[in-house]
Amino acid sequence: MTIAGSGRKKYYYYCATEKTKGKSVCEGMPGLVQDDVEHFVLGGLKTHLMQDEVYQAFRRKVETQMTAMVERSNSGLLVIEDQIRKRERDVANLVRASSEGGYSRVIAASLAAAEADLETLQAKHATETPQVIHLPKDLPSVYRAYVTDLTASLAHDLVVARASDALRAILDRVVIRYGVVA
């Protein structure tokens, strides 16, 4: 469908192929007021896209998966933490040995190697620590408020064209059947 206007503020969606292929292609399809269609679509987004029960089920599944992932990664992290503690003890012992016995190239080289190994282990620990995703309990209501704000934004004259383009970009299709009650 294409948007065209017949008045100053009223724009209509109409069947674009009717102009090129004739009325038989779009039989029984009158133009639809653009504002009515967009408010209907936004209302559908507000009420049907983010339903409380479906979101809560999704949230429970995510939490279950996150718990399992944390448990799996904890066993690997324990090994790395043991290696870090051992390497920290080695560094402390080498520092104490160099302070008690004076400077030695062997101690300095061992200390540098132990500190480099410790940094590597700490970086590995940081990368292997799972990032837990926290989903808010009230996301559907936050989403509905966002869509309500979007409705107000769509009505603003300065952004109406860009907002309508953005809305059309996120919607794959809207099926309109003339004379059929859904």
Average pLDDT, consecutive stretches of 10 residues, N- to C-terminus, the chain (182 residues): 58 64 63 72 74 87 87 82 92 85 80 92 85 83 78 70 71 63 55
Check residue 41 and give its pLDDT: 76
125-127-130-132 Cα dihedral, nearest 10 degrees:
120
* Predicted local confidence at residue 85, as pLDDT: 94
pLDDT at 146: 78
Note the pLDDT of residue 54. 86
Buried b (16+ CB within 10 A) or exposed e, 9-32: eebbbbbeebeeeeeeebeebebb
pLDDT for the residue numbered 115? 92
Please give the model's pTM, rounded to 2 decimal places.
0.45
Q: Give residue 119's pLDDT.
A: 94
Could you give the CA distance from residue 38 to residue 170 in angstroms, rounded to a whole number?
A: 13
Query: Which pLDDT value is given to residue 118?
Result: 92
pLDDT at position 137? 86
Quote the pLDDT of residue 134: 81
Residue 171 pLDDT: 67
Q: What is the DSSP-derived secondary structure letter of residue 32?
A: E
Residue 97: half-sphere exposure toward Cβ, Cα within 13 Å: 14
Give the integer Cα–Cα distance in Å for 4 and 18: 13
How many angstroms separate the CA atoms of 43 and 53, rounded? 18
The whole-number pLDDT of residue 132 equals 76
Give the number of other CB atoms < 10 A from CB of residue 121: 19
Structure-token pair, residue 73: 């990664």
pLDDT for the residue numbered 73: 79
